[in-house]
A and B are shown apart, each in its own frame.
Chain A
Amino acid sequence: EAQVTQNPRYLITVTGKKLTVTCSQNMNHEYMSWYRQDPGLGLRQIYYSMNVEVTDKGDVPEGYKVSRKEKRNFPLILESPSPNQTSLYFCASSLSPSAETQYFGPGTRLLVL
């Protein structure tokens, strides 16, 4: 089944404790992206990747890191999480965003205390 998976789905952590949210797709998509969704602010793009070893900042990259060492995986890293990073995070992928739609993962709900 074609899908985008994220782990964990729910995470509670404390300020400053490094964490990684994994994202994996099985569709051989070149484009992958991370978003955060906050009430009243909608979905905002954090980082995106056009292909392996190619990443670029979205609208809200501060406090986040990403890497794209393999085509299927695109982890989101919070080196020192802060309470303002409490949010719902979505990973998405697409074969070619200019021609085809994005497929979204189920989301990761993060609470930073």
Chain B
Amino acid sequence: KQEVTQIPAALSVPEGENLVLNCSFTDSAIYNLQWFRQDPGKGLTSLLLIQSSQREQTSGRLNASLDKSSGRSTLYIAASQPGDSATYLCAALHYGQNFVFGPGTRLSVLP
């Protein structure tokens, strides 16, 4: 059964720092790996989707990488801002078309 974990569980950094969020999955039989952002009391917003055949995707200050063989994905946030404060979740889409989410990393960027 697919298990997805995320490290760290919480992170607090000063504004302007570059940071890395980690996501690990146990079953490499995935179509893709997705990163989402969730603000308190709200739904999820998609950030990046990496297909299993890809190594990375970039959007603005965000860069996500995928190493399917080792079961890892990382989300890199450059020059963090207070507006980046949120919970970040990764999700693996299994071949059975079911999604498995990680527990999330709660990020706080201090002004």
Contacts and interface: CB of A to CB of B under 8 A. Distances in A.
Interface of A: 31, 33, 35, 40-45, 48, 50, 56, 58-59, 90, 92, 97-107
Contacts of B104: 42
Given A97-B31, A103-B46, A40 B97 contact: no
B32 A104 contact: no
Contacts of A59: 98, 100
Nearest to B49: A101
Contact of B98 (A40, A48, A101): A48
Chain B, interface SS category: strand
A17 B41 CA distance: 26
B43 interface: yes
B46 A102 contact: yes
B93 interface: yes
B77 interface: no
B98 A45 contact: yes
A42 B101 contact: yes
